[in-house]
């Protein structure tokens, strides 16, 4: 009986030894040296099944940090200089031409053809820009597209803006895009834009940015007399019709004249710009926060600027595009206007500008243009709709769902869908495409995260993604997470800016 038990025990020992040997052989190549290591590896493998979105800062070398802060300085300079869509497009064209890009209109007028490696841009009314690097492959195989917008929420002057009331001169404004109106009072404001005279003369205007410039502002009611105002809802505490810009209080010398302060303002404007009051009818003047983009925080890890939405994605998309040279598939960076009011009009994404421009490129790269080639090109394309997302703010946690929120410093944000009230008005990206994007980001060690825009039924928003998706191309929203989105001053992480540029570059390389 004892011998039988011993034999059973030996059999069990041999069985477990055999299992141990198999496990040892399986894990030996991974540097495992014993059972303790195997158990530790097993536990580690189990932990690896969970996904954690780490801070991008933790992976940076000293060289990486230098690159992060260098890019951020360039971006701050751009944001301080470019506060309207026209200013953005103008600056992008200057930079693109320095990088070898040619005006598509000139190529068409000269009856030239495009060859692989050629770089061209198309300018739509100075407010929308499309950049192309021509690839070796037929455009029927599709494009690799980055698409962002260069317009931002602001106050626009009305067509007949100037008036006088109680010896004060003011400009009437009409706000553009989704703003909290109360955020725009008692701020130093600047005026940027263009005035076009009847003879076609175009006058560029920028007042309020230099130290020697005057600034302007919208007044608010003193707290001592605000009993009724303080009872109003936030949406009504400042009415849109009351966003009037105070621009002067000194009267003209003629004491008999009517509206002496207004007359004095017109005199000053005529002396500086040679304009009359009627010229405001053909002007496009935008009221924006005065001042430069600034480092934010003791550690200078963030940037405060006007217009992060969506120039932060426009700039990083542009920078990624400038790195592209010889490519297989044609690469495109699209920087559009009017996104903040529904992508409408001749310079919005819903116009035919992009489609027409692609048709021109196909015509210049092939001998036999056809509408079918254009349709195939657009359908076979892949796109990143480069737009910002809302970063989790610990001051306002109730509107966000933590597991599906974006966080400052954790990299570029992918939004499978946007929209509101049951995903209404959104593009809902396909999981097959998302899997491709994940692989691209991880291949290039890009820090990335996923998010929704707040809790379900809390609100929502939209982008240009659904418009391009109408061609049946693959599209997903991705961009940089912000605090204070649509406020006069928005906040972004320098790490996220760097990762966005790297992510867009990875897409252009791999898609």
In this predicted model, what pLDDT tens digit does every residue of 161-199 receive, in sequence order? Answer: 999 999 999 999 999 999 999 999 999 999 999 999 999
348-405 confidence digits (pLDDT tens): 999 999 999 999 999 999 989 999 999 999 999 999 999 999 999 999 999 999 999 9
Q: What is the CA radius of gyration of the chain?
A: 29
Report the half-sphere exposure of 167 (CA within 13 A, side-chain side).
5
Q: Tell me what the pLDDT averaged over the chain comes to.
A: 92
| pLDDT beyond 70 at 294 | yes
What the chain holds in terms of domains, given with CATH numbers, is: 2-47 (no CATH), 56-152+306-510 (3.40.630.10), 154-289 (2.30.250.10)
Sign of the C-alpha dihedral computed for residues 100, 104, 109 and 112 taken in this order: positive
Q: What is the pLDDT of residue 455?
A: 79
Q: What is the pLDDT of residue 12?
A: 53
Q: Copy the structure tokens of residue 323.
A: 């790195």
Query: Nearest CA to 463 among 416, 497, 510, 406?
Result: 416
| pLDDT beyond 60 at 270 | yes
Q: Copy the structure tokens of residue 367.
A: 């001998």
Q: What is the pLDDT of residue 427?
A: 87
Rounded to 5 degrees, what are φ and ψ at 257? Answer: -75, 155
Q: What is the pLDDT of residue 222?
A: 97
pLDDT grade for 21, boundaries at 50, 70 and 90: very low
pLDDT grade for 453, boundaries at 50, 70 and 90: confident
User: What b/e sequence results for 393-420 when a residue is b if at least 16 CB atoms lie within 10 Å of its CB, and e otherwise?
Assistant: beeeeeebeeebbbbbbbbbbbbbbbbb
- What is the rounded CA–CA span in Å between residue 507 and residue 331? 10
| pLDDT beyond 60 at 20 | no
Q: What is the pLDDT of residue 15?
A: 53
Q: What is the pLDDT of residue 454?
A: 76
């Amino acid at each position: 009986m004892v011998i039988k038990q011993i034999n059973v025990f030996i059999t069990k020992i041999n069985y477990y030894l055999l299992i141990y040997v198999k496990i040892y052989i399986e894990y030996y190549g991974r540097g495992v040296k014993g059972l303790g290591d195997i158990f530790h590896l097993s536990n580690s493998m189990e932990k690896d099944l969970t996904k954690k979105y780490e801070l991008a800062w933790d992976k940076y070398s000293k060289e990486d940090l230098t690159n992060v802060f260098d890019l951020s300085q360039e971006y701050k300079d751009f944001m301080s200089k470019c506060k309207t869509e026209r200013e953005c497009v103008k600056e992008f064209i200057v930079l693109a031409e320095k990088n070898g890009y040619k005006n598509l209109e000139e190529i068409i007028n000269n009856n030239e053809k495009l060859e692989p490696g050629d770089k061209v841009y198309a300018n739509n009314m100075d407010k929308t820009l499309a950049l192309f690097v021509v690839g070796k492959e037929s455009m029927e195989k599709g494009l690799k597209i980055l698409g962002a917008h260069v317009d931002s929420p602001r106050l626009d002057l009305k067509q007949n803006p100037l008036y006088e009331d109680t010896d004060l001169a003011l400009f009437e404004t009409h706000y553009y895009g989704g703003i909290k109106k109360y955020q725009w009072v008692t701020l130093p404001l600047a005026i940027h834009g263009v005035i076009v005279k009847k003879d076609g003369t175009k006058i560029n205007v920028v007042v309020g940015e230099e130290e020697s410039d005057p600034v302007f502002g919208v007044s608010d009611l003193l707290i001592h007399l605000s009993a009724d105002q303080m009872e109003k809802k936030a949406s009504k505490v400042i009415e849109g019709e009351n966003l009037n810009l105070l621009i002067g209080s000194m009267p003209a010398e003629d004491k008999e004249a009517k509206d002496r302060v207004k007359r004095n303002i017109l005199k000053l404007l005529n002396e500086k710009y040679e304009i009359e009051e009627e010229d405001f009818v053909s002007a496009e003047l935008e009221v924006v926060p005065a001042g430069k983009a600034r480092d934010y925080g003791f550690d200078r890890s963030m940037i405060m600027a006007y217009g992060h939405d969506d120039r932060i994605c426009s700039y990083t998309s542009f920078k990624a595009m400038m790195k592209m040279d010889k490519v297989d598939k044609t690469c495109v960076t699209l920087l559009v206007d009017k996104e903040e009011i529904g992508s409408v009009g001749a310079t919005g994404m819903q116009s035919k500008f992009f489609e027409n421009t692609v048709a021109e490129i196909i015509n210049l790269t092939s001998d036999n243009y056809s509408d079918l080639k254009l349709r195939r090109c657009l359908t076979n394309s892949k796109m990143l709709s480069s737009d910002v997302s809302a970063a989790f703010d610990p001051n306002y946690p109730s509107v966000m769902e933590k597991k599906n929120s974006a966080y400052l410093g954790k990299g570029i944000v992918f939004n499978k869908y946007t929209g509101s009230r049951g995903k209404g008005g959104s593009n809902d990206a396909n999981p097959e495409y998302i899997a491709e994007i994940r692989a691209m980001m991880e291949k290039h060690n890009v820090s990335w995260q996923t998010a929704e825009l707040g809790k379900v039924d809390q609100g929502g928003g939209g982008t240009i993604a659904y418009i391009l998706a109408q061609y049946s191309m693959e599209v997903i929203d991705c961009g940089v997470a912000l605090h204070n989105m649509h406020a006069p001053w928005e906040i972004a992480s320098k790490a996220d800016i760097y990762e966005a540029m790297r992510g867009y570059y990875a897409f252009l390389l791999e898609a």
